């Protein structure tokens, strides 16, 4: 009993189901958590709620991810619409970041990673042989957990993407892209006179907004955000959240977050992951007021996670 409690509350839960020895029981409910994944897999990994949406832009079908022998994502299907914010929540190690990195094939750079299933972006399979991951990543931008501006000036950070993709014909066009991107990332006022200073000289929250500006400068269709506020203070977090509200008028945003308040504030839909399974997806309101699955309820009420 103590073992399991510890492993749920303090440590990331094991990626693969541990064999149930009859002792690992949840304190409050007496359910065997470690059996869930197995049961779900046997049931075909049925996700509760609505995985589909109107006008799906990105369609994920039966995706599995393996790191070597480790089955990190199990039969996940999900649809993502244009101009919506969808939040992925779940305890550490549940696979939400792995899932996110599948969407722009960032897992390609991990040697042992293997992805099966189908992910369609606007009708094209992004894992198809003829698909170039480089072109894909220009369409599916990504913002990372820790702000990671390049060791270049603020201007060059934003201009980096347009330059490598040849988006600007001349210097004036490039200037316009940089300015509008900084403007839309809500950073222009603060850095207007500091465009030549290194990006790393900005504060943490400014750096993260610089990374967002850098991402929108290549005009992506979807922006993936992997816990974008976990390294920031509440004020910088609030600015980023406001920014997401504005950005979702043009882009689909998929955000991984550990903060349920943040998920509730910014997203229209929420997907709850547990041990590599997509347990439940629904409207944000519904997930937080009336979750259907026991695990979802336990997580959002703070019993696990």
Interface with another protein (CB under 8 A): 104, 106, 109, 111, 134-139, 141-142, 144, 146, 148-152, 160-161, 164-165, 198, 200, 211, 214-215, 218
CB-based burial of residue 111 (10 Å sphere; 0-12 exposed, 13-18 middle, 19+ buried)? exposed
Report, in Å, the least distance between residue 242 CB and another protein. 23
Say what the alpha-carbon torsion angle 288, 291, 297, 299 is, to the nearest 10 degrees: -50
Please, which residue, 218 or 270, has the CB nearer to another protein?
A: 218
Backbone angles phi, psi at 17, to 5 degrees: -65, 135
> CB 284 → another protein: shortest distance, Å?
26
Q: Which token pair is 113?
A: 């990673």
* Alpha-carbon separation of residue 117 from 16, 65, 176 (angstroms): 19, 9, 40
Nearer to another protein, 75 or 207 (CB): 207
Query: Of 45 and 141, which CB lies nearer to another protein in the complex structure?
Result: 141
- Whole-number Å distance between alpha carbons of 151 and 141: 20
In the complex, what is the shortest distance from the CB of residue 146 to another protein, in angstroms, rounded to a whole number?
6
> Minimum CB separation from another protein for residue 60, in Å?
19
CB of 138 to another protein, least distance (A): 3
Least distance from another protein to the Cβ atom of residue 144, Å: 6
Mutual orientation of helices 234-247 and 204-216 as an angle, nearest 10°? 20
Token look-up 């990105």 returns: 58
Instruction: State which residue, 117 or 133, has the beta carbon closest to another protein.
Output: 133
Report the 10 Å Cβ neighbour count for 133.
Answer: 16
Select 144 or 288, whichever has its Cβ closest to another protein: 144
Closer of 143 and 264 to another protein (Cβ) = 143
Instruction: Name the percent of the chain in helix, strand, coil, to the closest 5.
Output: 40, 25, 40
């Amino acid at each position: 009993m103590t073992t399991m409690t510890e492993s749920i509350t303090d440590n990331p839960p094991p990626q693969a189901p541990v064999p149930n020895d009859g002792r690992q029981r949840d304190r409050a409910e007496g359910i065997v958590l470690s059996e869930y994944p197995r049961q779900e897999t046997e049931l075909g990994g049925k996700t509760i709620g609505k995985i589909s949406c109107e006008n799906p832009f990105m369609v994920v079908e039966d995706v599995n991810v393996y790191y070597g022998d480790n089955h990190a994502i199990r039969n996940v299907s999900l649809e993502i619409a244009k101009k919506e914010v969808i939040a992925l929540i779940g305890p550490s190690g549940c696979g939400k970041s792995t899932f996110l990195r599948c969407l722009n094939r960032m897992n390609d750079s991990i040697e042992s990673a293997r992805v099966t299933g189908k992910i369609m972006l606007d009708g094209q399979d992004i894992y198809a042989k003829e698909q170039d991951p480089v072109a894909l990543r220009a369409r599916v931008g990504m913002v990372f957990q820790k702000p990671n501006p390049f060791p270049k000036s603020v201007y060059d950070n934003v201009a980096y993407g347009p330059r490598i993709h040849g988006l600007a014909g001349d210097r004036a066009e490039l200037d316009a892209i940089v300015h509008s991107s900084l403007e839309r990332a809500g950073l222009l006022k603060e850095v207007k006179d500091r465009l030549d200073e290194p990006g790393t000289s900005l504060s943490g929250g400014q750096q993260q907004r610089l990374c967002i500006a850098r991402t929108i400068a290549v005009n992506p269709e979807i922006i993936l955000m992997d816990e974008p506020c976990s390294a920031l203070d509440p004020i910088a977090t609030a600015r980023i959240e406001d920014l997401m509200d504005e950005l979702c008028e043009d882009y689909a945003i998929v955000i991984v977050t550990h903060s349920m308040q943040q998920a509730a504030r910014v997203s229209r839909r929420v997907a709850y992951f547990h041990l590599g399974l997509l347990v439940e997806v629904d409207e944000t309101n519904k997930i937080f007021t009336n979750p259907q699955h026991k695990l979802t309820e336990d997580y959002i009420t703070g019993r696990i996670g």
